[in-house]
Amino acid sequence: MTGARHPTGLIVGRFNPPHLGHSSMIERAAAACERLVVFVNTRRGELVPGDLRAGWLAQLHPDVRVIEVAHDLPTDFGDEELWRRWMALFRAHWPEEPEFRGGPHALFSSDPYVDELARRFGAVAVAVDPERTAVPISATQIREAPAEHLDRLAPPVRRWVEANLL
């Protein structure tokens, strides 16, 4: 991004598990914002516990506010009532400190839902490497074949994957 930075930004994801593509997006978004928040959406029973995912991201990106958002909501982009519930959940987790007031001002994602989520927040949507060319990996690929993608994981995540998924 060139020019003025956004006062606040938000990234929403599962990060199950977090990989170097996620870190690349977080770094790019952080450079475009005065303050960046990362929501780690979690549910019981997921492959990698949510608190662990949030902890890794906080460790890897200490200048970013990482917040675990535990929920039991399904995802259906065509369901207006579900959108209302998601937005209430996200707004309830947005930081209350004065420096975050009025935010988020920008939403960052490589996924197409960023446009609608940003619209509902009254924020700018910023697509970050939607073709995933900077770091060609997805968490789905890692879950399906973890041994083939260890080079796309930060050291603490790699150690956990090696100990728990191989």
In a domain? residue 62: yes
State the total domains in the chain. 1
Helices (H), the chain: 20-31, 50-60, 80-93, 114-121, 139-144, 155-164
pLDDT at position 112 is 87
pLDDT at position 56 is 98
Domain containing 146 equals 6-164
**Sequential pLDDT tens for the chain (166 residues):** 445 699 999 999 999 999 999 999 999 999 999 999 999 999 999 999 999 999 999 999 999 999 999 999 998 889 999 999 999 999 999 999 999 999 999 999 998 889 999 999 999 999 999 998 989 999 999 999 999 999 999 999 999 999 999 8
Q: Is residue 114 within 8 Å of 96, Cβ to Cβ?
A: no
Q: Is residue 125 within 8 Å of 114, Cβ to Cβ?
A: yes
pLDDT at position 3 is 57
Task: Report the relative pairing of strands 6-13 and 33-42 from DSSP bridges.
Answer: parallel
Structure tokens at 130: 């939607």
| CA–CA distances in Å: residue 52 to residues 82, 100, 156 | 27, 25, 10
In a domain? residue 20: yes
Q: What is the CATH number of the domain that holds 69?
A: 3.40.50.620
In a domain? residue 1: no
pLDDT at position 75 is 87
